[in-house]
Chain A
Amino acid sequence: MATVHLPSGLTQYTGGVETIDIDAARVPELIAALGHRFPQIAEQLGEMAVAIDGEIYQDPGYQLLRADSDVHLVPRIAGG
């Protein structure tokens, strides 16, 4: 199960849930499962970058997850 950390700013829409374990082999399934669980933030989840075990992917695509991956959803960042 990957451990997903929700952005703290969104916990007002998740009933205070900050961390949740999700069984998903790839990022899209993980996002879909989260969106299913928290429909109010589903739209925003798709616009976020994903940090998997410390590596931030601006466009996470179909990145694979390990069974014990630590996943953080973070805002996208622009570079100059």
Chain B
Amino acid sequence: MTTPREFKYVGTRPIRHDGVDKVTGRASYGADVVWPGMLHGFVLRSPHAHARIVSIDTRAAEATPGVKAVLTGKDLPETTATIALGEAAIDLRDVGDNMLARTKVLYHGHAVAAVAATTIDIAREAAEKIQVVYEVLEPVTGIDRAIAADAPILHPALRTKGAASPGAAGPTNIASRLEFKRGDVDAAFAEADVVVEREFRTPMVHQGYIEPHACIARCGEDGRAVVWCTTQGPFVVRDACAAIAGLDPAHVKVIPSEIGGGFGGKIVVYLEPMAIALSRKAQRPVKMVMGRDEVFRATGPTSGSRVRVKLGAKRDGTLVAATASLWYEAGAYRGSPVGAGAMCALAAYKIPSFFIEAHDVVVNKPKVAAYRAPGSPIAAFAVESVVDEIARELKMDPIELRLKNANAEGDKAPYGPKYGPIGLKQILEAARNHPHWTSPLAANQGRGIAVGFWFNAGMNSSATVILDTDGSAAVVTGNPDIGGTRAAQAIMVAEELGIPVERVRPGVGDTDGSGYTDLTGGSRVCYATGMAVIRAAEDVRDQLKARAAQIWNVAVDAVGWENGRAIPPAGTEKAEAMTVAGLAAKMAHTGGPIVGRASLYAPMAGPAFGAHICDLEVDSETGQSKVVRYTVFQDVGRAVHPGYVEGQMQGGAAQGIGWALNEEYIYDADGVMENAGFLDYRMPVASDLPMIDTVIIEVPNPLHPYGVRGVGEVPIVPPLAAVANAMRDATGIRFTELPLSPPRVLEAIEAASAVSVGA
């Protein structure tokens, strides 16, 4: 076993390098730029949730003074390209159709045409003159309807992929079905002393980033395009734009703006290829900015769901059997995160026999996009609620029950491979020993705990470290900084080179200025891109050692490195240790500038677990509830900048609390979303929440030089069940449908008291 490395900068909390620009309003986000001569684009959207497009007449719009270009689906080529991005965003034909409908509209708000004009008002008025004739079809607004025998079919060519259920053939709204199984489930349930089975439902919810989608694009006579946009993945945007707008990717450059939140929702393109196509027609730059209602209606929420879970346990608390049936809404095109949901559902527990099935279901709602640990929170809500019920039936402490069944290093994950070092037991023990767990509750309060799991992504990353003659360094990667990753990357360069963090300039490159890098998401930036940054800094260090060897006229291998200084071999005459600055000053005489670079493909990072304890106070007269205390425990592997690690844990918890208590897409019978604004789509505000305590656990990930696992996604997984379990504790009622909004809670409390009065 190697001794743990002593860090000088890793684990400190320097002020982020982009901070002053962001607190003074100078940082440029998607909608903050103006290009000379630019036009404004406006999108015409479908008033129907499901309809065939019979015809589109754009003549009146085109004739409007000030209008420079009008676009419909027919103007764009059909593409069959795909981008490998996991299960959620692969098919660019679907992405293109979702961006601008060709033959059918599949949800209320689906784009059917776009107009570019000299002012946004002109563009809007012209768009309203576009005549679209629809043949309206019955909307499929939920899973139950989608899978009914007589359901309208969204995509006539769609067939179920994967492990088809017996008898499934022909047109369907079930895009895929997956199974995971181990052991003999029926026999195992027969051995169980207690069995609990429940069915859960969750509504669609949105990522809710505060900055709406925005971009500006220009496309010249030579077919070369430049796009400025708010995105988690500039390279994804580049490749998608090229395929959808019909350009050579060699001719597309994407410049990422500062990004005002994403959470997975700013990976897919909604505007950029349209802006390029409009610009190509008009030969002027085109700026497009979504309104909040467009963000709700036409960008990715995550799935609504129906999940049935059954668990069996022995009297001593040993879990022996499980079944789970997951049904996730994909929205208008296939690709819900149900596969990940199925893989995460039982990830925490050693259960010898289980059967899990997962269904991806298309419905007439917006196509879902990734949302923080996509698929896992929905599955955890169901499983962790049932685990809580088992603990109650067995009169066992819910942490003890979980510890008894917790997976550890060497155990087989339900999706197959064996776990490496994981911190599940450590977080559960930390939770059990935390004062929160044993503190007294006041009247009308309840306490819940739940755990959650996420894989944490790896994939492609590149980094360049540029040394300057004064011994400072710049580091450039292709990852937009969505929550403090610049600071983390500067820390890593400082750590490797031994120069102060403040003397490192971290930057975000555009698609021409950095090596290919996958998106900012999947909790991968600090892990995978961080690994590239560390290696690029090591590359600089190796070059510096070679320069020192040259100066001292010794063999490179003989040069040591300590505390940011090259050390001459013992006995070298007139040689003293040289600092980075000293060596950098001599670059011109020792071979010229020094640039370090690294590119890599990382496997998925170490899997990570979190546990959340929630105290909820419930007003039984109004059904209103409030989180009064909340503590987040998480194994992050290694916290590079603990301030931003805590921030991820707190922010994820807050989003999950919103999902549990208030957030939902509300649809009418025609498939029209009724609450497409922040007033009625109720996200948590400051007065809804207490301070959110964090406990960082560090079980190093052997795949990363510092042990980083990634942090951003796990914290949204446990809150749904942690809150629901606290609600059960406070009210005695097991809620199986989210959100736990005051009317739903009040109704259940009244029903329960009516029963107890009647009895």
Q: How far is the CB of B93 from chain A (nearest CB, A)?
A: 16
Binds B, one of A21-29, A30-38, A50-58: A50-58
Chain B, Cβ-Cβ closest to A53: B417
Contact of A54 among B89, B343, B373, B418 (CB under 8 A): B418
B180 to A44, Cβ gap below 8 A?
Answer: no
The number of residues on chain B lying at the interface, defined by a beta carbon within 8 Å of a beta carbon of chain A, is 52
A80 to B371, Cβ gap below 8 A?
Answer: yes
Instruction: Name the residue among B357, B457, B519, B703 with the largest chain A CB count within 10 angstroms.
Output: B457
Give the complex CA separation of A39 and B180 in angstroms.
21
B703 to A78, Cβ gap below 8 A?
Answer: no
Q: How far is the CB of B675 from chain A (nearest CB, A)?
A: 22
A51 to B417, Cβ gap below 8 A?
Answer: yes
Mask, B406-447, CB within 8 Å of A = 1, is 000000000111111000000000000000000000000000
B163 to A80, Cβ gap below 8 A?
Answer: no
B178 to A75, Cβ gap below 8 A?
Answer: yes
Q: How far is the CB of B358 from chain A (nearest CB, A)?
A: 9
Enumerate chain A residues within 8 angstroms of B415, measured Cβ to Cβ: 72, 74-75
**A66 at interface by CB-CB < 8 Å:** no
Q: Is the interface of B mostly helix, strand, loop or mixed?
A: loop
Known A-B contacts A55-B603, A57-B603, A76-B339; the reply to A9 vs B86 at CB < 8 A is no
Give the complex CA separation of A79 and B522 in angstroms.
4
Q: How far is the CB of A30 from chain B (nearest CB, A)?
A: 15
Enumerate chain B residues within 8 angstroms of A44, measured Cβ to Cβ: 161-162
Known A-B contacts A9-B179, A79-B523; the reply to A58 vs B420 at CB < 8 A is no
**B398 at interface by CB-CB < 8 Å:** no
**B626 at interface by CB-CB < 8 Å:** no
**B201 at interface by CB-CB < 8 Å:** no
Mask, B498-514, CB within 8 Å of A = 1, is 00000000000000000
Give the complex CA separation of A59 and B179 in angstroms.
21
Contact of B604 among A53, A58, A72 (CB under 8 A): A58
B340 to A58, Cβ gap below 8 A?
Answer: no
Give the complex CA separation of A80 and B371 in angstroms.
5
Known A-B contacts A5-B416, A55-B604; the reply to A78 vs B337 at CB < 8 A is yes
B417 to A8, Cβ gap below 8 A?
Answer: no
B86 to A79, Cβ gap below 8 A?
Answer: yes
Known A-B contacts A5-B416, A8-B182, A54-B418; the reply to A76 vs B604 at CB < 8 A is no
Give the complex CA separation of A70 and B264 in angstroms.
32
**B686 at interface by CB-CB < 8 Å:** no
Known A-B contacts A9-B179, A75-B340; the reply to A80 vs B372 at CB < 8 A is yes
Count A-B pairs with CB separation below 8 Å.
Answer: 121
B416 to A59, Cβ gap below 8 A?
Answer: no
Give the complex CA separation of A34 and B180 in angstroms.
19
Mask, A40-80, CB within 8 Å of B = 1, is 00001000010111111111010000000010111111111
Give the complex CA separation of A59 and B263 in angstroms.
23
Known A-B contacts A74-B415, A76-B86, A79-B713; the reply to A8 vs B180 at CB < 8 A is yes
The number of residues on chain A lying at the interface, defined by a beta carbon within 8 Å of a beta carbon of chain B, is 28
B84 to A79, Cβ gap below 8 A?
Answer: no
**B374 at interface by CB-CB < 8 Å:** yes
Chain B, Cβ-Cβ closest to A43: B161
Q: How far is the CB of A42 from chain B (nearest CB, A)?
A: 14
**B85 at interface by CB-CB < 8 Å:** yes
Contact of A80 among B161, B264, B458 (CB under 8 A): B264
**B152 at interface by CB-CB < 8 Å:** no
Q: How far is the CB of A2 from chain B (nearest CB, A)?
A: 13
Give the complex CA separation of A70 and B521 in angstroms.
28
A77 to B339, Cβ gap below 8 A?
Answer: yes
A8 to B89, Cβ gap below 8 A?
Answer: no
Q: How far is the CB of B400 from chain A (nearest CB, A)?
A: 28
Give the complex CA separation of A44 and B417 in angstroms.
19
Enumerate chain B residues within 8 angstroms of A76, measured Cβ to Cβ: 84, 86-87, 339
Enumerate chain A residues within 8 angstroms of B343, measured Cβ to Cβ: 74-75, 77
Enumerate chain B residues within 8 angstroms of A74, measured Cβ to Cβ: 343, 415-417
B87 to A77, Cβ gap below 8 A?
Answer: yes
Give the complex CA separation of A73 and B339 in angstroms.
13
Chain B, Cβ-Cβ closest to A5: B416
Enumerate chain B residues within 8 angstroms of A56, measured Cβ to Cβ: 417, 455, 458, 603-604
Enumerate chain B residues within 8 angstroms of A73, measured Cβ to Cβ: 416
A72 to B339, Cβ gap below 8 A?
Answer: no
Enumerate chain B residues within 8 angstroms of A72, measured Cβ to Cβ: 415-417
Contact of B86 among A8, A51, A78 (CB under 8 A): A78
A8 to B522, Cβ gap below 8 A?
Answer: no
Contact of A78 among B177, B340, B357 (CB under 8 A): B340
Enumerate chain A residues within 8 angstroms of B601, measured Cβ to Cβ: 57, 59, 61
Give the complex CA separation of A76 and B458 in angstroms.
12
Mask, B341-361, CB within 8 Å of A = 1, is 011000000000000010000
A: which residues have CB within 8 A of B? Answer: 5, 7-10, 12, 44, 49, 51-59, 61, 70, 72-80
30 A-B pairs with CB atoms under 8 Å apart are A7-B178, A7-B180, A8-B181, A9-B162, A9-B163, A49-B604, A51-B417, A52-B603, A55-B417, A56-B603, A57-B458, A57-B601, A58-B84, A61-B601, A72-B415, A72-B417, A75-B340, A76-B84, A77-B340, A78-B87, A78-B88, A78-B89, A78-B264, A78-B370, A79-B370, A79-B374, A79-B457, A80-B207, A80-B373, A80-B713
Sorted nearest first, the 8 A-B pairs with minimum C-beta distance are: A79-B522, A80-B264, A9-B179, A72-B416, A78-B88, A78-B86, A9-B163, A80-B370
Question: Besides A54-B418, A72-B417, A79-B457, 16 other CB < 8 A contacts?
Answer: A55-B603, A56-B458, A59-B84, A70-B417, A72-B415, A77-B343, A77-B457, A78-B87, A78-B89, A78-B375, A79-B264, A79-B374, A80-B263, A80-B264, A80-B370, A80-B713
